[in-house]
Amino acid sequence: MAADGGEGMTADVAVLGAGMHPWGKWGRGFVEYGVAAARAALADAGLDWREVGSIVGADTVRGGYPGYVAGATFAKALGWQGARVTSVYAACASGAQAIDTARVQILAGRADVVLVVGADAAPKGFFRPAGGDRPDDPDWLRFRVLGATNPTYFGLYARRRMAVHGDTMEDFAQVKVKNAASGVLNPYARYRKRVTAEEVAASAMVADPLRLLDICATSDGGAAVVLSSMEFARRRGVVDPVRIRAVSTVTPRYPSTVLDLPEIATDSAVAVASATETFRASIARTAYDEAGIGPEDLSVAEVYDLSTALELQWYEDLGLCGEGEGAKLLREGATAPGGRIPVNSSGGLASFGEAVPAQAIAQVCEVTWQLRGTAEDRQVPGARVGITANQGLFGHGSAVIAVR
């Protein structure tokens, strides 16, 4: 049942509810976090769990070992009631893939209401592979063949930006300063303390040029959204909901002219012309094309700042500025609160840390609250269009565009 999104008759679905469990290191199981987020989202939507026709759970797999069958796990914890169930894995993009799955089910008429849940109880320290040899697993290859832990490849990205675009360690530090200031205002954030550039510079060097405060932590947390058809929303008296207008889940194209870890090969076995855009740029462009908008229409953006340098790269990949102009955009204050296009008003991963299957859903929660005008002290005035973006390992694209 295709939904009438209004302008352009696009296939929108409504975001009726959004909920989260605070991020931190709580020492409990992921199910508890996910159930708390799901119940918060259902309460926000004014719905009972028994009204949900389908549940989609975002799984997690780290370093090649399987995580949890999240859809059925959450359905059982909430109480078996016969809903359809799906479990989705796409590394950091799991949440967006789960939202896309829910959206497709609604538009296909399989369910009027779908609950999407992601939660994690992350291990202490940086992610690392489990034991055993798995030469067909690119994450295992990255760790064991290249010796490239997550901070290592964050540092390589940062070094490339410094060499190619002239970015500085001071630029990277200012991303942390900006995001920490927003995180102070977010009750769901793990780190709620302002940070100075001097404190970033004084933190321990982890992977040159990135210091400890340039790199996101690993966290426990949960997030959930309740999606519905536009018709169902209208029947419930919700006449102007936040709407999901596009979800991009594209894969890369060969040849890869810029090495994008954990991939190691740079070419395919057949001769093909060089792509006109990078993988991350194609993620955003595909979402823009589907939504019928451009970067100039955005009010807010939530991006995966696994490191401070990677946030600057996303500015360019989202088309917020030209290639190599990310640091300039930051210095101008365009991406800060009150700027032309605030980025990571939630506080980003700098303030949350990674709870892998939850974070892409959490991004949509933040955009939903911004477009509703209910983000309180973080509110971006007049926000009408928002985008989320991240990249899951193994070539999982992830971008969601929401409108009001």
Enumerate the domain spans of the chain: 7-403
Quote the percentage of the chain above a pLDDT of 90.
Answer: 76
* Chain segment 200-219, per-residue pLDDT in tens: 999 999 999 999 999 999 99
Residue 113 scores a pLDDT above 90: yes
* Chain segment 125-148, per-residue pLDDT in tens: 887 766 677 777 777 777 777 778
The pairing of strands 113-121 and 220-228 is antiparallel
pLDDT range class, residue 64, cuts 50, 70, 90? very low
pLDDT range class, residue 61, cuts 50, 70, 90? low
Quote the percentage of the chain above a pLDDT of 70.
Answer: 91
pLDDT at 40: 98
CATH entry 1.10.510.10 includes domain 7-403: no
Residue 99's φ and ψ, nearest 5 degrees, are -65, -40
CB 194 within 8 A of CB 179: no
Residue 175 scores a pLDDT above 60: yes
In 3-state terms, what secondary structure has residue 199? Answer: helix
pLDDT at 102: 98
- 7 burial level (CB within 10 Å; 0-12, 13-18, 19+): exposed
- 118 burial level (CB within 10 Å; 0-12, 13-18, 19+): buried
Amino acid at 127: F
DSSP letter assigned to residue 120: E
CA angle, residues 35, 40, 41, in degrees to nearest 5: 100
pLDDT at 268: 61
* CA-wise closest residue to 218 among 336, 356, 101, 63: 356
The answer for residues whose C-beta is within 8 angstroms of residue 285's C-beta and 6 or more apart is 277, 319
* CA-wise closest residue to 228 among 115, 332, 142, 311: 115
H helices, E strands: number in the chain: 13, 11
pLDDT range class, residue 62, cuts 50, 70, 90? low
CB 2 within 8 A of CB 105: no
pLDDT range class, residue 9, cuts 50, 70, 90? very low
Dihedral of CA atoms 132, 135, 137, 139 in degrees, nearest 10, equals 80
* CA-wise closest residue to 156 among 261, 78, 12: 261
In angstroms, rounded to a whole number, what is the distance separating the alpha carbons of residues 233 and 287? 24
Residue 262 scores a pLDDT above 90: no
The answer for residues whose C-beta is within 8 angstroms of residue 192's C-beta and 6 or more apart is 183, 184, 186, 351
* Chain segment 271-329, per-residue pLDDT in tens: 677 778 888 999 999 999 999 999 999 999 999 999 999 999 999 999 999 999 999 99
